[in-house]
Amino acid sequence: MLRLSEQSFGTLRMLFERESGIRLRDEKRTLVVSRLQARLEQRGMRSMEDYCALLLRPAEQEERQRMVDALTTHETYFFREPRHFEHLAQQALPALTQRPLRIWSAASSTGEEVYSLAMTLAETLGPAGWELLGSDISTRVLDVAQRGLYVLNRLECMPRMFLQKYCRRGFGQYEGQLLINSSLRARTRFLRHNLLDASNPLGSFDVIFLRNVLIYFDPERRRYIVRNMISRLNPGGFIYFGSSESVSGSTEGLESVASSVFRRPMQRMKP
């Protein structure tokens, strides 16, 4: 096991927070070493001190991104928290009449949430009239999402009809995997985005899924991110948070419509 000195951990913590907005806690030291081991080997580094010196070089932005990729957590699966997708299909989509609808999965990880949304939208609205964006800070998981190729053990919550209609089972070298069908993949777009970056010209959205990511930020940054999301939500639009996340004090201007689901009120016409 590599040795991680206090100084090196401080450097990694500073760089990771600068790149991601997430502060590494002291108890993450062992995880940091285990997840960065491969990067040191690939770059021919023998110590964390050498790797930190490499990361500090201005020209090593790509390596800093790889460090972020290695240290971020991306636990997800299809139709996680199924009641949110039920609410979207049964309550939110019928209430949103403008077209095209713009939907954003703002912490899309490896793409299971995006494709769960795409299946829900295709089944409820048909193949047209909606646009779907997935974003994440990790380029590694975005590459996985764009391929749309997954192992079969992530399917516990996927309705069987959706599995048969929108997925293809792999054979041969792809045994034990599934591929999201090409027509559904063509309706989605993925890009790298830092949730703390309010300047990115993403436009506004009718539905935003911001789930299971706020827990990694401190309270001040959580409030900043939620306020930014609200500013991008169209009047009448819906925003979904993870059920285990606290957004109290951050949802001013929104109406609670279900557990972890809020709506931005429609603008009233001036008399």
Q: Catalytic amino acids? A: 35, 136
Angstrom distance (rounded) from CA 82 to CA 79: 5
Cα 109 → chain centroid: 4
Q: How many CB atoms lie within 10 A of CB 48?
A: 22
Say if residues 260 and 242 touch (Cβ distance below 8 Å). Answer: yes
Rounded to whole angstroms, the Cα distance separating 104 from 118 reads 11
Of 212, 244, 214, nearest in space to 226 by CA: 214
Strand (E) or helix (H) holding 35: helix 29-43
Non-local CB neighbours of 181 within 8 Å, separated by 6+ positions: 166, 167, 168
Round to whole Å and give the CA distance between 116 and 78: 6
What is the spatial distance between Cα 233 and Cα 41, in angstroms, rounded to a whole number?
44
Task: Give CA–CA dist 256/204, Å, rounded.
Answer: 20
DSSP secondary structure letters along 221-239: HHHHHHHHHHHTEEEEEEE
Burial degree of 163 (CB within 10 A; 0-12, 13-18, 19+): middle
Give the type of residue at 233. L
Beta bridge partners of 14: none
Tell me which amino acid residue 242 is: G
